[in-house]
Amino acid sequence: MRVTQLRSGIGCKQNQRQTLLALGLRKIRQTRDWPDTPQVRGMIHTVRHLVAVEEVEPS
């Protein structure tokens, strides 16, 4: 899964800001690749209004 931060975490709840950092997203338009696991999907669900997710083939 490719996760891209689209909006800032400023003004969001503390757990949402911490989730962005845990996903490795610190700046807008920053992208990280993650495996498709239930834990990662839960983190993405927490910040779904701040990020965009696209499915990518594992390399």
Quick: pLDDT tens for 21-55.
999 999 999 999 999 999 999 999 999 999 999 99
Query: By percentage, how much of the chain surpasses pLDDT 70?
Result: 98
pLDDT of res. 57: 83
Quick: pLDDT tens for 6-30.
999 999 999 999 999 999 999 999 9
The count of other CB atoms within 10 Å of the CB of residue 8 is 12
pLDDT of res. 59: 65
Answer positive or negative: Cα dihedral of 29, 35, 38, 39: negative
Taking the whole predicted model, whether its pTM rises above 0.85 is answered as yes
